[in-house]
């Protein structure tokens, strides 16, 4: 019998911020904070610990395959009577859906929610499709265009939606970082643009992952460079109230360069331990971490190697098992023992380690229980069943290993290699897709495994890959390929074989309050707007004790802040944060106190349009640690500005200068407005150092399009993804000469649009004609204005000055 482990369903991958920051074309349940009562803090296990809001309206019982990793977080189905043989040529194939995919569908209440993509070139869109479980007929679908991402080679939809076990609502994060909540009928409840609100980065590999639900929290992850203390690029987690989209906490548990080498889309494994809700996972920095799921506070970290850990872990008692393909440094006493990749077992119950920077750092000898250097895997996740781990390695070998000891029981060659696809266990069988486009049903034994069924999805003249884990529900097995989604099994369901939902854990008894938890924890306001808050008392385990009373608010500057700034807003007597009509662009923090308890929030104000910045208000007085020149930090409220830009003096005035001291941050995609901004003209003066053979790239971002002068190529380019929307025309740029760049995006009623830009020497008159005009059939209707800079050589900075954003009048 499959071991049932109580779990909590969380969100990976990446998402964030107060709903006041949502795109303006979307209904938003959290434009201002709404009071929410205490609720559960669990997920599939649904512990009712008060860690969250009211969870939204309840529906009939929601049962199904609700998350990428299944009901136990281990890739295991509890169903019986599942198929032993399937084929593309008989009645075991119930239907297929013409939608490319690289992830896993989720299923509930007779509906399948598939995340995929379709189209070519400029017309590629990611698609969330809701189809009928029995027929595959489309009920509704939503399309999302890529924007400002680095995704290449159609590496879209590498992840999965997630279904809320309380309401049936569906959560999704897209490749460029739109994090959204939909009702089962497809009505959008709220969204966040994680890139524009929290500085979430994208990567060429496109790995996005899946949200996870923990009671009334929904959690996502991503490598981000936000503002202030969260400006350094790190692999972070973000928790939101699942009903309203209000931001609750962020967690930064990993280290940065040189260890932060990769994005990470691994799911987290959540459990209750010692009264706390804890989750475990690997990071893009090569760390394995434990984080408090109620507060986001990091608990411990173990630095396993260099690179990203992208496989999702499984937990058997105290032993956490996960594979990786990291560079693992050799110990000092054995310099030849360096390796690449392992399957490891770690003791999460260890109390060893030294607390540094608020997190317990654990050494290898204090946490490692076992290691197998023969089993290396980059992204495929293990399955845990009755003390045995089933793992496919990068060479296409299926291994069976004892979870507690690491003892290898057997192995079987299944394919040439493996990438993302993971096996799924059900009814004593492994359902196993392989990268090369084949799908197997395998019956594991004590010493070997028997192949019961094989399906070849490959097509003549076309490349077909299997990159997602199968989903199992109601007698059906779902397998995604890069061409179609297939549904195998039997018609009419599997009433005798269906399991009951995983039972909720008992609600914990709250202890004495020790701190305040404030929701939302971060806000984005415009002048003339306001934000209300819920202030909760929490105990040492993060359990909400109740609402705080007699809350007092005061401005707060973190002791580690590089910029001692304040947000241009004030709390009124009712505890509402108000930005007056004339509030200036700014950022800062506040501390709330209730008796001896305290907590903090932070926020930003971005001005209504028109907006301008000439940088003359900055005091250029800080000695730079690398070249000794004077500089000032960039505007605090800008996203992804810190470490990428500085204010320096040039040609007799203050200008924004691209940093050149960190090659990892040589590119800047910086957002200076609100994600809902649209129909505006953005003008800036731009310049590059260098010579005729060596210059940087400099430009602006208008409505999710980058308009950039590329000095080394003598062109002006419009792009929104280097493989999707990218057009250029000739323009010869002279180094150390200022140019004026003017841009606008015009969107028609049918959704098509034209991106227009003109550029001319700053000391000359504006030309009448546009330098470049780029049509786009699926134009972006909105997007934060921003700045773009790329210094390919540490000697050649790029510069920006006199930024002006004005609403279009026609």
Q: How far apart are CA 487 and CA 480, in angstroms?
A: 9
HSE-up of residue 362 (Cα within 13 Å, Cβ side) = 23
pLDDT at 12: 33
In this prediction, what percent of the chain has a pLDDT beyond 90? 80
pLDDT at 28: 37
647, 615 contact by CB (below 8 A):
yes
pLDDT digits (tens, 9 = 90+) for 388-399: 999 999 999 999
* Pairing assessment for the beta strands 298-303 and 359-362 based on DSSP bridges: parallel
770, 743 contact by CB (below 8 A):
no
388: exposed, middle or buried (Cβ count in 10 Å: 0-12, 13-18, 19+): buried
pLDDT digits (tens, 9 = 90+) for 662-694: 888 899 999 999 999 999 999 999 999 998 788
HSE-up of residue 152 (Cα within 13 Å, Cβ side) = 5
Higher pLDDT: 167 or 5? It is: 167
pLDDT at 1: 36
* C-beta atoms surrounding 416 within 10 Å: 11
pLDDT tier at 496 (50, 70, 90 boundaries)? confident
Q: How many residues are present in the chain?
A: 810
| Distances in whole angstroms, Cα of residue 198 to Cα of each of 195, 564, 785 | 6, 20, 15
- Nearest of 520, 521, 526, 583 to residue 24 by alpha carbon: 526
pLDDT at 24: 36
**Omega cis (within 30) before 258:** yes
pLDDT digits (tens, 9 = 90+) for 17-55: 333 333 433 333 333 222 322 222 233 333 334 444 333
Beta-bridge mates of residue 441: 431, 453
pLDDT digits (tens, 9 = 90+) for 363-385: 999 999 999 999 999 999 999 99
- Please tell me whether residue 756 adopts helix, strand or coil conformation: strand
In this prediction, what percent of the chain has a pLDDT beyond 70? 91
Q: How far apart are CA 438 and CA 398, in angstroms?
A: 14
Q: How far apart are CA 76 and CA 450, in angstroms?
A: 19
Instruction: Quote the pTM value.
Output: 0.92
pLDDT at 333: 67
pLDDT at 20: 36
pLDDT at residue 6 tops 90: no
pLDDT, average across residues 202-215: 92
pLDDT, average across residues 608-618: 97
Spell out the residues 6+ positions from residue 348 whose beta carbon is closer than 8 angstroms to its own.
Answer: 273, 278, 280, 290, 315, 318, 319, 320, 367
pLDDT at residue 347 tops 90: yes
pLDDT at 48: 35
| Distances in whole angstroms, Cα of residue 121 to Cα of each of 153, 210, 459 | 10, 25, 22
Q: How far apart are CA 727 and CA 774, in angstroms?
A: 7
pLDDT tier at 332 (50, 70, 90 boundaries)? low
pLDDT at 258: 66
Q: What is the mean pLDDT of the chain?
A: 90
- Nearest of 732, 786, 608 to residue 199 by alpha carbon: 786
pLDDT at residue 725 tops 70: yes
Spell out the residues 6+ positions from residue 809 whose beta carbon is closer than 8 angstroms to its own.
Answer: none
| Distances in whole angstroms, Cα of residue 634 to Cα of each of 137, 195, 490, 797 | 52, 19, 61, 15
Hey, what are 337's tokens?
A: 């023992």
* Pairing assessment for the beta strands 76-77 and 64-65 based on DSSP bridges: unpaired
415, 438 contact by CB (below 8 A):
yes
pLDDT digits (tens, 9 = 90+) for 437-478: 999 999 999 999 999 999 999 988 889 999 999 999 999 999
pLDDT digits (tens, 9 = 90+) for 514-570: 999 999 999 999 999 999 999 999 999 999 999 999 999 999 998 888 888 999 999
Listing DSSP states for 620-661 in one string gives --EEPTTT--EEBPPPTTSBT-TTTEEEEEETTEEEEEE--S
195, 524 contact by CB (below 8 A):
no
pLDDT at 641: 96
pLDDT at residue 795 tops 90: no
Which helix (H) or strand (E) covers residue 577, if one does?
strand 577-578
pLDDT digits (tens, 9 = 90+) for 45-70: 333 344 443 333 444 579 999 999 99
133, 127 contact by CB (below 8 A):
no
pLDDT, average across residues 233-245: 96
Which helix (H) or strand (E) covers residue 786, if one does?
strand 786-790
End-to-end CA distance of the chain: 68
Kindly tell me the number of DSSP H helices and DSSP E strands found in the chain.
2, 66
Of the listed ranges 234-243, 690-699, 742-751, 780-789, the least confidently predicted one is: 690-699
- Nearest of 342, 348, 359 to residue 307 by alpha carbon: 342
Beta-bridge mates of residue 241: 217
pLDDT digits (tens, 9 = 90+) for 287-322: 999 999 999 999 999 999 888 899 999 999 999 999
pLDDT tier at 805 (50, 70, 90 boundaries)? very high
Beta-bridge mates of residue 709: 698, 716
Higher pLDDT: 93 or 723? It is: 93
pLDDT at 335: 61
DSSP state, residue 203: -
pLDDT tier at 331 (50, 70, 90 boundaries)? low
Higher pLDDT: 41 or 408? It is: 408
């Amino acid at each position: 019998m499959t071991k049932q482990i109580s779990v909590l369903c969380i969100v990976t991958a990446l998402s964030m911020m107060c709903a006041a920051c949502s795109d303006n074309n979307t209904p938003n349940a959290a434009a201002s904070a709404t009071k929410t009562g205490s609720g559960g803090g669990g997920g599939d296990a649904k512990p009712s610990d008060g860690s969250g809001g009211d969870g939204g309206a309840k529906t009939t019982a929601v049962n199904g395959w609700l998350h990428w990793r299944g009901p136990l977080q281990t890739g295991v189905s509890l169903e019986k009577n599942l198929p032993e043989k399937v084929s593309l040529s008989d009645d075991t194939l119930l239907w297929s859906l013409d939608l490319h995919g690289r992830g896993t569908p989720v299923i509930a209440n007779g509906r399948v929610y598939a995340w995929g993509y379709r189209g070519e070139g400029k017309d590629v869109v990611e698609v969330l499709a809701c189809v009928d479980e029995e027929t595959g007929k489309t009920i509704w679908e939503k399309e999302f265009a890529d924007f400002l991402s680095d995704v290449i080679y159609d590496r879209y939809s590498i992840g999965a939606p997630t279904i809320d076990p309380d309401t049936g609502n569906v959560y999704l994060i897209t490749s460029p970082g739109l994090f959204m909540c939909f009702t089962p009928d497809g009505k959008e409840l709220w969204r966040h643009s994680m890139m524009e609100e929290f500085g979430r980065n994208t990567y060429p590999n496109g790995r996005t992952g899946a949200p996870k639900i923990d009671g009334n929290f929904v959690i996502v992850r991503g490598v981000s460079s936000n503002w202030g203390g969260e400006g350094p690029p790190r692999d972070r987690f973000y928790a939101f109230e699942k009903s309203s989209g209000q931001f609750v906490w962020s967690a930064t548990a990993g280290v940065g360069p040189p260890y932060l080498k990769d994005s990470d889309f691994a799911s987290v494994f959540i459990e209750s331990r010692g009264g706390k809700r804890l989750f475990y996972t690997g990071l893009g920095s090569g760390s394995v971490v434990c984080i408090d799921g109620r507060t986001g506070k990091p608990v411990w970290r173990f630095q396993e190697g260099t690179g990203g850990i992208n496989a999702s872990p499984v937990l058997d008692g105290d032993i956490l098992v996960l594979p990786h393909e990291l560079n693992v440094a050799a110990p000092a006493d054995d310099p030849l023992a360096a390796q690449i990749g392992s399957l490891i077992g770690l003791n999460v119950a260890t109390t060893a380690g030294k607390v540094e920077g608020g997190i317990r750092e654990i050494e290898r000898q204090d946490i490692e229980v076992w290691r197998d250097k023969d089993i290396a895997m980059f992204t495929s996740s293990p399955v845990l069943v009755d003390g045995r781990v089933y793992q496919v390695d990068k060479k296409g070998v299926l291994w069976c290993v004892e979870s507690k000891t690491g003892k290898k029981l057997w192995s079987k060659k299944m394919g040439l290699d493996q990438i993302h696809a993971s096996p799924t266990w059900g009814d004593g069988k492994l359902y196993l897709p392989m990268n090369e486009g084949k799908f197997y049903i395998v019956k594991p034994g004590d010493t070997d495994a028997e192949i019961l069924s094989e399906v070849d999805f490959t097509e003549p003249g076309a490349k077909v890959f299997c990159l997602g884990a199968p989903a199992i529900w109601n007698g059906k097995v779902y397998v995604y390929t890069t061409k179609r989604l297939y549904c195998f099994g039997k018609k009419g369901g599997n009433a005798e074989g269906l399991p009951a939902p995983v039972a909720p854990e008992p609600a914990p008894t709250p202890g004495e309050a020790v701190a305040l938890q404030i929701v939302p924890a971060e806000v984005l306001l415009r002048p003339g707007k306001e934000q209300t808050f819920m202030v909760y008392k929490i105990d040492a385990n993060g359990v909400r004790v109740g609402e705080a009373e007699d809350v007092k608010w005061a401005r707060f500057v973190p002791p580690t802040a590089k910029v001692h700034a304040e947000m241009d807003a004030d709390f009124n007597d009712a505890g509402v944060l108000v930005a007056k009509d004339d509030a200036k662009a700014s950022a800062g923090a506040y501390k709330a106190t209730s008796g001896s308890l305290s907590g903090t929030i932070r926020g930003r104000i971005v001005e209504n349009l028109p907006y301008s910045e000439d940088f003359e208000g900055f005091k250029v007085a800080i000695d730079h640690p690398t070249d000794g020149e004077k500089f000032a930090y960039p505007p605090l409220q800008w996203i992804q500005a810190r470490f990428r830009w500085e204010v320096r003096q040039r040609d007799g005035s203050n200008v924004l200068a691209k940093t050149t001291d960190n090659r990892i941050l040589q590119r800047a995609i910086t957002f200076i407005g609100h994600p809902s901004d649209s129909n505006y003209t953005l003008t800036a003066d731009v310049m590059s150092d260098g010579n005729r053979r060596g210059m940087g790239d400099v430009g602006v971002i208008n409505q999710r399009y980058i308009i950039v002068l590329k000095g080394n190529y003598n062109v002006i380019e419009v792009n929104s993804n280097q493989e999707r929307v990218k057009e250029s025309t000739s323009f010869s740029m002279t180094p150390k000469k200022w140019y004026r760049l003017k841009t606008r995006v015009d969107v028609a009623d049918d959704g098509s649009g034209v991106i227009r830009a003109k550029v001319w020497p700053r000391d000359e008159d504006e030309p009448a004609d546009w330098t470049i005009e780029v049509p786009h059939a699926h134009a972006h209707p909105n997007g934060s204005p921003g700045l773009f800079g790329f210094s390919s050589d540490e000697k050649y900075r790029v510069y920006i000055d006199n930024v002006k954003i004005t609403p279009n009048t026609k």
